[in-house]
Amino acid sequence: MMHLPQWVTNSFPLLSYAVFKILGLAPFTVNPRPANKSPIFVHSHIGTLYNLILVVIVAILSPSSIAAIDRVEFERKTSTAQVISLAKASIGLVVLVVVWLYIILNQKTAIRIANTWQHEDETMRTLAYVKHRNLSGLQLRLYFVLNVSIWINLFWTDLVEFEKWFKATFVGIIIPSFVFTWLILQYTFVLVLLRDRFRALNEGLNRISSAAFAAPYYFNSLERTLDDVISKNLLVIKVSHEVLYELVCDISSLYSFPILLVISVLSGTVIYSSYYLFMMLLLNDDVKPLTIVNSVCYLSMEMFPIVVLSFGVTKIINELKLFSLELLHRNVSFTGGNIFSLDGTLLHSILNTTATYLIILYQFSQPDKSTSNTSRITNATSGKSFYILTDALGDINHVNDEL
C-alpha cells in the first residue's frame, strides 16, 4: 500500500477545511485544542456573517452578470445556446444563494453531527479489536487534486480562447459551478470517511468471531467463558454500528436538499455542454484543439463530482449491508430530496437524459447565421448523427439492464 508523507497527511484536512470555509460550505469553527470534554466543532457567528456577505454580493452582482451573458458574443452562438446560457446563469445564481442560506440555517445540525462523529472516533480508538485505519486517504487526495486540475485547465483555456466569455460568465456561471462541484465533493469525502469506519467495525466483527483470535486477547480470569468475551465485544460493535448508522441517516438528510438542487443544475449543464461540444465537432469547420479541450473541461467539471459521489454512495451502501440482516430491513437511502437515488442509477439517468435531449436539440436548433454551406453540412450529417445518438441511447439502456 502506498504511504503518503507525514506533512501531506497532516495538512490535507486543514487544506480541505480552508477550501470549504472560503466557499461558504463550512461556516462553523474548528477548535484544534479543546478543553476537557469541550466540543471540537463550535458555532461561528463570523462564519454565518461571512456566508451572508457572500449572499448579498451575489445578489447584487446577479442582474449585471445575466445582462453581460445576454450581450456577449461567442463562437457558434445560436438562439438555443443563448437561451440555455441565460437559464443556466439565472438558475445557478438562485440555487447558489439558496444553498448558502440552507448551510447557515443548518449549521447547528452539522456541528452536532460532526461532534458526535468525533466522539465515536474516540470510542473506536479504545477498542483493540477494531483497527481504525485511514484506508481512503490517498483516494480523497486524488479526488481533490483531480478536481483542482480540471478547474485549472478550464480557467486557463477560458482565458486564452474565450476571454470575453470568461469575464461575462464569471459571476453567473463559473462561481456557482465552482461551489457546486466542491459541495458534491464535500459530501463524497464524508461518505468515504464513514465507509472506512463501517469497514473497520466489520473487520473487527470478523476478528472477534474467531475463537482463535479472541482467546489470547480477550479471555482472562475475570471472564469465565470465551462466549462471554465474544458476546461483550459483539455488543460493543453493535452499539458503535448503531451510532454510525444514525450518523449516516442524519448526514443523508442534511445533504439531501442542497444535493437535489445542485445535481439538478449540473445535470442540465451537462446537456448544454454536451450539445455545444457535439455541434462544434459536427460542423467541423476548422475547430481549434484548445476549443475542444475547453469544452471537454466543462463537461468533465460537471460530471466528475457526480461520478465520484455515485461510486461513494454505492460503496457505503455495500459496506452497510455487510453487518447484519437486521440493517437490511432498515431504510438506508441516499437521495436528492427523496426524488432520485444517488447510487449508480443516477449516472444512467443523466446519460440517458443527455442523449435524449441532444437528439431533440439537434433536430430543432438552427445557427443564427445560415449559409448554404452550413445547410449542406447539416443536411448531410443529420441522419447519421441521429442514428449515432440513438445507438448511444440504446447502449446506455443496455448497460442499465445489465446493472
Cα–Cα dist 123/214, whole Å: 20
**Among the listed residues 111, 121, 125, 123, the one whose alpha carbon sits nearest the alpha carbon of residue 251:** 111
Cα–Cα dist 80/367, whole Å: 9
Residue 156 is predicted with a pLDDT of 93
Cα–Cα dist 165/74, whole Å: 7
Burial of 168 (0-12, 13-18, 19+ CB in 10 A): buried
Residue 205 is predicted with a pLDDT of 74
Contact 258, 183 (CB under 8 A): yes
- Spell out the alpha helix ranges (H) of 322-343: 325-328
Burial of 37 (0-12, 13-18, 19+ CB in 10 A): exposed
- In this structure, the dihedral spanned by the alpha carbons of residues 147, 149, 155 and 159, taken in order and rounded to 10 degrees, is -160
Q: Is the dihedral of CA 344, 346, 349, 353 positive or negative?
A: negative
Cα angle vertex 122, ends 119, 125, to 5°? 155
Q: What is the DSSP letter of 367?
A: B
Residues of the chain by 3-state class (helix, strand, coil), percent to 5: 80, 0, 20
Contact 92, 177 (CB under 8 A): yes
Cα–Cα dist 166/158, whole Å: 6
DSSP lists the bridge partners of residue 340 as 336
* HSE (side-chain half, CA atoms, 13 Å) at 10: 4
Task: With both helix axes pointing from N to C terminus, report the angle between 226-283 and 211-218 in degrees, rounded to the nearest 10.
Answer: 120
For residue 344, what are the contacts with CB-CB under 8 A and spacing of at least 6? 310, 311, 314, 403
Cα–Cα dist 78/205, whole Å: 61
Cα–Cα dist 10/323, whole Å: 31
Residue 239 is predicted with a pLDDT of 79
Task: Write out the three cell numbers for 329.
Answer: 430491513
Task: Write out the three cell numbers for 288.
Answer: 481549434
Residue 66 is predicted with a pLDDT of 92
How far is C-alpha 370 from the geometric centre of its chain's CA atoms? 40
Digit-by-digit pLDDT tens for the chain (403 residues) are 444 444 445 688 889 999 999 999 999 988 766 666 667 888 889 999 999 999 999 999 999 999 998 888 776 667 777 888 888 999 999 999 999 999 999 999 999 999 988 888 887 776 656 666 666 788 899 999 999 999 999 999 999 888 888 888 899 999 999 999 999 999 999 999 998 888 888 777 777 666 444 455 444 544 455 566 667 667 777 777 888 888 999 999 999 999 999 999 999 899 888 888 887 787 666 778 888 898 899 999 999 999 999 999 999 888 887 765 455 456 678 888 888 888 888 888 888 888 888 888 777 665 444 443 444 433 434 444 444 444 544 554 554 454 4
- Spell out the alpha helix ranges (H) of 133-174: 137-161, 163-169
Q: What are phi and psi of 75, to 5 degrees?
A: -60, 135
Other CB atoms within 10 Å distance of the CB of residue 271: 21
Contact 190, 313 (CB under 8 A): no
In the chain, domain spans: 11-364
Q: Beta strand pairing status for 340-341 and 335-336?
A: antiparallel
DSSP lists the bridge partners of residue 335 as 341
Burial of 307 (0-12, 13-18, 19+ CB in 10 A): middle
